[in-house]
Structure 1
Amino acid sequence: MAIRHGIDMNKAEALHRAEASDFLRRHLRSQALSKQAERHLLFGVPMHWMADWPTPCGLFIEQAQGVALRDVDGGEYVDFCLGDTGAMFGHAPALVVDAITRESARGLTAMLPGEDALWVAEELARRFGLPVWQFALSASDANRFAIRWARAVTGRDQILVFNGCYHGTVDDVFVDLKDGVAKPRASLQGQVYALTEHTRVVEFNDLAALEAALADGRVACVLAEPAMTNIGMVLPQPGFWAAAQDVIRRHGSLLLLDETHTISSGPAGYSGEYGLEPDLLVVGKPLAGGLAAAAYGFSEDLARRAHRAKLDAPAGHSGIGTTLSANRLACAAMRANLAEVMTAANYRVMQERAAQFAEGMRALLSRLGLPWCVTQLGARCEFQFRFSPPLNGGEAAAAQDEELERFIHLYLLNRGCLITPFHNMLLFAPALAESDVAHLLGSFESWLERVRG
């Protein structure tokens, strides 16, 4: 009998085969669309990550509203993935849809400012404490642009990231620690220059390693999520960020925080909830209610330095910004979302539902004697295949088991519960009912009862 993480893998594999057959039996239209898609879409999907779901063919969605999804075969799901944070507050919030509908008739983009942009910048300044902002189409773009500003104002060429980090598709961040040595991420496609020439990487929560990496004064900025979310959740240890901020400033580097996922912590993100003071801050995909938009903010001192750097540079393209950045439609959606959806009241409901899941899952794992842990970050939860929460990306990566994740995810999906396909992350939107969380926990319990060793 093959036991892994407390699970009988022979039982789990047999159950997974049955679940895959059941999925195909109930998804004839998705099967037909998958075959059609193979003709003109690489990997049979419009963006290759969409092939990462654990389904034996593509799952094609017809409609998403709140936390309810319906596929083209009529299957219905409660969505705990929410576009991997892109729809963190639920799909198609009514007031955001109204703003998009109204603004789309007045012009989508003009490369000229409208009043909504001013309102959004003022609101972001109020929430995050950074007085000056710029907009982008995605967190990937915003991180890329923020890195350029950091290098421009400091005159330094290096950046530092934490092992296992995720900051979108910014080239510079795809560097991992392998046996203590920084190496380009093996999965990165088409990379032709050595990323380690300009990027350093240390483990999260390791103050000594951070100090050593910054000591020579070449690092322009430390780019980090306040808590790691994409290698499996890793929370900062008590006192880590207070000490880390001191180390970063003492060596003349900037702190660039990516709050795209950790905005689950509260209306002002993790930094607002816990009093962090970044020089630059990025918020991405949930900012406009699911529409492509992002923003990045500057401290007052850094804004002055950035302004001077641009004025002192030769005329021409800065390498920062795109013509669709800050388009009218995105600004209208951000305004509606910030004003009416990303509210303290909605966050309270979201965090209550997340706590309901986290507490229920911990009780279930304890009762069944399984060596797993559950981590909560506001409205975001993750379960991991290790007894205690990981301290860094290396520990989190070692706890991952992609085969076991696929088994779990398909079983839950077949029972109407959709969780993020890449690892074991769940989000809890305002429209979730307590009964939705109870159904998820019950479905999970039924799987565990059938496969535990």
Structure 2
Amino acid sequence: MNSCNAASQGGIAGSRIARLREEEAQAFRAARPKSWAALGNGIEGFLGGVPMHWMSDWPTPFPILVERARGASITDADGNTLDDFCLGDTGSMFGHSPPPVARAIRRQAGRGLTYMLPSEDALALGRLLEAHFGLPFWQIATTATDANRFALRVARAVTGRDTILVFNGCYHGSVDETMVRLKDGKAINRPGLAGEFRDLTARTRIVEFNDLPALAAALADRTVACVITEPVLTNSCMVLPDPGFHAELRRLTREAGTLLLIDETHTISTGPGGYTKAFGLEPDLFVLGKPVAGGVPASVWGLSDHVACRYEAYATNKEPGYSGMGTTLSANPLQFAAMEATLEEVMTEKAYAHMDRLARRLDAGLTAVIDRFRLPWHVARVGARVEFICAPGPLRNGGEAEAAHAPDLEAAIHVALVNRGVLIAPFHNMMLISPATKASQVNRLIAAFADVAAKLTA
């Protein structure tokens, strides 16, 4: 809790937060009688009343029952339309059902959905991936979790080392080895893991983001196979890299014979080639999930020429049998079609220019509101991804990000924004600008944020 006493968060008294949350919960229920009837007691037949337990993590009194989504808007079963800045927590970062992707899906639907063989779309896809992201060799998976897991297998195989290194506060899907954190300077399993029977810290080292001396010390014995990192910590309160951090990270990993895996699943908001291309990063391995197929479940992982050659040599001499990489529905023709359309027609320089322009507008607008109401908060941004953080900033590492989290306050703000026609990500205060987002929607978000800030500080 980022406050000087347990009764407040983010500089707001606990009693005021509780009052706002109750008022907004009542308004939410009143506006959604159909959703309440359908979801208020859970959906029959599903564990926990929802098809996937994350759906229970929204801070609304019950999940929103979606009727349709188009562009940057969602309409619920009660006819309420929301400006969508969550966009499936990045899965629909380019808007809901981008027209080129929708056309590609319709075209492929009549040709077969999966057959464990390449289709004509696959012929162009490898070249498109290299052109966008720089690395010469690629594989297709279904989720970023899978892609990260497979890439780490390759890293261990070619280095002959079994240890990986992550940064405190990182997020790489549900890859087991990354589910660690620092507590009082000591590495531990993340609390809350279900059914975990191993000490994950036995093969995972963890240091704070931006802490180059700690990173150098952790790599010094030359036993770390791979450093896996986001270019910016994004699934906590956002943490940007210090100037020179990535250059030194690359130097230190090369010096230690350690591979570098860059996970761009969230930071693809930076540009068509992600943060990697925009800032000239040089990863050995590269992962992108969620939005790469415009909302169709898909992910990609790429290898440098050097790593690919080393893996070829390894694979030639290894025992025959299942590699532990790949799933039956990975690299299916529906993914090929959707990815080709996304890379060729959706992830364009023009689209990103629009996204960046409106993201800058949102950043400035939210910052102005924070300043006007003298809130001890700040705004962080990486390309089209914007986040307001209910603590002073900027933050420098995962420990600071965890301390900055204000769960009760953030939940109250989230529901209040929904009641004012705006949807943001449920797990933190993340907002995305898509190619379909309009300036009027950004203006409404800023106005709604100002209205909520006024209520909190009245």
**TM-score computed with the length of structure 2 as normaliser:** 0.97
User: For residues 250 and 186 of structure 2, what CA distance do their matches in structure 1 show?
Assistant: 24
Q: Does 1:184 align with 2:189?
A: yes
- The residue aligned with 1:161 is 166
Q: Does 1:398 align with 2:403?
A: yes
Partner of 1:286, secondary structure, is: helix
- The residue aligned with 1:15 is 20
- The residue aligned with 2:442 is 437
AA at the equivalent of 1:320: M
Q: Does 1:82 align with 2:58?
A: no
- The residue aligned with 1:451 is 456
AA at the equivalent of 1:379: A
- The residue aligned with 2:375 is 370
AA at the equivalent of 1:327: N
User: For residues 127 and 192 of structure 2, what CA distance do their matches in structure 1 show?
Assistant: 40
Distance apart, 1:117 and its partner CA:
1.8
- The residue aligned with 1:96 is 101
Distance apart, 1:36 and its partner CA:
6.3
AA at the equivalent of 1:323: T
Structure 2 residue corresponding to 1:355, chosen from 347, 357, 360: 360
AA at the equivalent of 2:52: M
User: For residues 4 and 35 of structure 1, what CA distance do their matches in structure 2 show?
Assistant: 29
- The residue aligned with 2:110 is 105
AA at the equivalent of 2:84: D
Q: Does 1:238 align with 2:243?
A: yes
Structure 2 residue corresponding to 1:214, chosen from 219, 237, 247: 219
Distance apart, 1:104 and its partner CA:
1.2
Distance apart, 1:3 and its partner CA:
4.6
Q: Does 1:412 align with 2:417?
A: yes
User: For residues 357 and 343 of structure 2, what CA distance do their matches in structure 1 show?
Assistant: 20
1:292-303 matches, within 5 Å, as 292-303=297-308
Q: Deviation per CA, 1:186-216: give whole Å up to 9, x if none.
A: 0211111111111110000011111111111
Distance apart, 1:376 and its partner CA:
1.0
User: For residues 201 and 274 of structure 1, what CA distance do their matches in structure 2 show?
Assistant: 24
User: For residues 415 and 97 of structure 2, what CA distance do their matches in structure 1 show?
Assistant: 25
User: For residues 396 and 224 of structure 1, what CA distance do their matches in structure 2 show?
Assistant: 16
Structure 2 residue corresponding to 1:137, chosen from 139, 142, 151: 142
AA at the equivalent of 1:447: V
- The residue aligned with 1:62 is 67
AA at the equivalent of 1:239: G
Partner of 1:365, secondary structure, is: helix
User: For residues 390 and 45 of structure 1, what CA distance do their matches in structure 2 show?
Assistant: 35
- The residue aligned with 1:346 is 351
Q: Deviation per CA, 1:57-94: give whole Å up to 9, x if none.
A: 22110101001101111111000000000000000011
User: For residues 40 and 184 of structure 2, what CA distance do their matches in structure 1 show?
Assistant: 42
What is the number of residues matched between the two proteins? 453
- The residue aligned with 1:28 is 33
User: For residues 452 and 396 of structure 1, what CA distance do their matches in structure 2 show?
Assistant: 24
AA at the equivalent of 1:92: S
User: For residues 94 and 384 of structure 1, what CA distance do their matches in structure 2 show?
Assistant: 34
Q: Are residues 36 and 407 of structure 1, via their aligned partners in 2, closer, same or farther at CA, if it must alter by over 3 Å? A: closer
2:260–2:284 contact (8 Å) kept in structure 1: yes
- The residue aligned with 1:120 is 125
- The residue aligned with 1:147 is 152
1:159–1:221 contact (8 Å) kept in structure 2: yes
User: For residues 216 and 128 of structure 2, what CA distance do their matches in structure 1 show?
Assistant: 35
Partner of 1:441, secondary structure, is: helix
Partner of 1:287, secondary structure, is: helix
AA at the equivalent of 2:51: P
User: For residues 125 and 116 of structure 2, what CA distance do their matches in structure 1 show?
Assistant: 17
User: For residues 122 and 183 of structure 1, what CA distance do their matches in structure 2 show?
Assistant: 42
Q: Does 1:196 align with 2:201?
A: yes
1:9–1:451 contact (8 Å) kept in structure 2: no
User: For residues 354 and 52 of structure 1, what CA distance do their matches in structure 2 show?
Assistant: 26
Structure 2 residue corresponding to 1:254, chosen from 253, 256, 259: 259
2:137–2:302 contact (8 Å) kept in structure 1: yes
Distance apart, 1:38 and its partner CA:
4.2
1:381–1:425 contact (8 Å) kept in structure 2: yes
Distance apart, 1:306 and its partner CA:
1.1
Partner of 1:243, secondary structure, is: helix
2:9–2:406 contact (8 Å) kept in structure 1: no
AA at the equivalent of 1:313: K
- The residue aligned with 2:279 is 274
AA at the equivalent of 1:254: L
Distance apart, 1:12 and its partner CA:
2.7
Q: Deviation per CA, 1:3-43: give whole Å up to 9, x if none.
A: 53232332232122111111111211111221564431112
1:175–1:185 contact (8 Å) kept in structure 2: yes
User: For residues 138 and 5 of structure 1, what CA distance do their matches in structure 2 show?
Assistant: 35
User: For residues 432 and 7 of structure 1, what CA distance do their matches in structure 2 show?
Assistant: 31
Distance apart, 1:118 and its partner CA:
2.8
Structure 2 residue corresponding to 1:308, chosen from 304, 313, 334: 313
Q: Are residues 366 and 299 of structure 1, via their aligned partners in 2, closer, same or farther at CA, if it must alter by over 3 Å? A: same
AA at the equivalent of 1:45: V
Q: Does 1:337 align with 2:342?
A: yes
AA at the equivalent of 1:445: A
Structure 1 residue corresponding to 2:296, chosen from 286, 291, 299: 291
**TM-score computed with the length of structure 1 as normaliser:** 0.98
User: For residues 226 and 26 of structure 1, what CA distance do their matches in structure 2 show?
Assistant: 40
Distance apart, 1:364 and its partner CA:
1.4
AA at the equivalent of 1:29: K
Gaps of 5+ in 2: none
- The residue aligned with 2:387 is 382
1:8–1:452 contact (8 Å) kept in structure 2: no
